[in-house]
Structure 1
């Protein structure tokens, strides 16, 4: 299917999609790391021991990368390189095919498909590991789309987040990857993506938390669409509403 899309021109509009709660119903990285931790009883015990410190760190933006790294390290202790981690990610996706496919949002994928059919330069920018997003997108023949994600690397006998693709760093990583032109459209659920949404000529908020809607309306241009693409429990105008 991916071969049916026209190759994007160098001057084609740049369109950026978040992944979690945008194309995928849920937090794909958390699902992966939970599985990694649950592979052994001692990892579960270790996660429980570090949770009182690492959990609050994840919830606070300035310490989020460090908090996530603690749980990543817990799930990957003994994994020595990126190739071994990518093999584990592929194993996770292969063993959860139906559950993962069920979380892909059909309406989101329709919009994604329309941009690709028009020849736009489409890129996914996610806080999840890029190998995870690519593997999930392969189920719907979009594995050839560039994915910018959190970079993991060796740390103290396991793996940790070296560059967390989150908040302002998401824009930094997009630019460093060569996506240097103006952002025509950006799709995201998260207030953490305000640097991306505010950089876009046409920001679109999808599946936001209800408590964040007022913030989006206040800081984004008047008339910015705030939509729900089929995420239960999330806010936004229903599809077709």
Structure 2
């Protein structure tokens, strides 16, 4: 059954992939979740502060990012023994922060996503955040039925950690495993998503860091749109329209 006002995409309809953080959502949704989890308990705050000299640099570097994120996730989720419990915590976080989260959803981005769906395109959100988090947030704007591929989590030593980070080349592997290898359009802000952008027939860079605009212009085909969809501290053309 088709949920919402959008046509059911044909199996051969163009595939459109959206990143989530800094693309549909202004900020890093996973970091906001784990910061909330950590702040709920003074001991977790202390543990995070003590661990940051190690975990912070790990998060900043692509080869170790999964381990750094898992470290903060472990601190924030200690005491959870099932992934189902973690999903319930995510739903509670989203429900109790509705107004704040809704303000971070980017109207221009949501309009582009809705227009793709209205055209009958197959739309997938591929994110480094936990998929339950992206789904719950998209539920604010009636896109909860969009396919979401995100970072897989599991329980280790009494807490939740990332077991497979949906990021960079791994994001492409996870997309292909789900049958999403032939990409027509891809939207992302991040240089880590170069494999995704390069795999798309039409890559679109949105809300890039200002210092990375020149890099994207060199790394992607001439004429690749580099747009700003409402992230004030990011670069890109605020007047462009990627959906032609």
The reply to whether TM is greater than 0.5 is: yes
Residue aligning to 1:233: 233
Corresponding residue for residue 145 of structure 1: 146
Shift of the alpha carbon at 1:232?
0.7
Instruction: Find the counterpart in structure 1 of residue 16 from structure 2.
Output: 15
Indicate the residue corresponding to 1:190 in structure 2: 190
Aligned-pair RMSD on alpha carbons? 1.1
Deviations 1:53-91 (A, max 9, x none): 011000011100001100000000010111000000000
Residue aligned with 2:201, SS? strand
Structure 2 match to 1:219: 219
Which digits, 9 at most, give the CA deviation of each residue in 1:140-166, with x for residues without a partner? 000000000001100111011100000
Q: TM-score with structure 1 length normalisation?
A: 0.98
Partners of 1:240 and 1:183 in 2: how far apart?
Answer: 22
Spell out, residue by residue over 1:111-163, the C-alpha distance to the aligned partner (whole angstroms, 9 max, x if none).
00010001101000000000000000000000000000001100111011100
Structure 1 runs not aligned, ≥5 long: none
Cα pair distance change 1:104/1:2, threshold 3 Å: farther
Deviation at 1:3, TM superposition (A): 2.1
The number of equivalent residue pairs is 240
Q: Is the 8 A contact 1:19 1:126 kept in 2?
A: yes
Q: How does 1:11-50 map to 2 (within 5 A)?
A: 11-50=12-51
Unaligned ranges ≥5, structure 2: none
Q: Distance in 2 between matches of 1:2 and 1:18?
A: 22
**Runs of 4+ residues deviating >6 angstroms:** none
SS of residue paired to 1:171: helix
Q: How far 1:240 moved relative to its partner?
A: 4.9
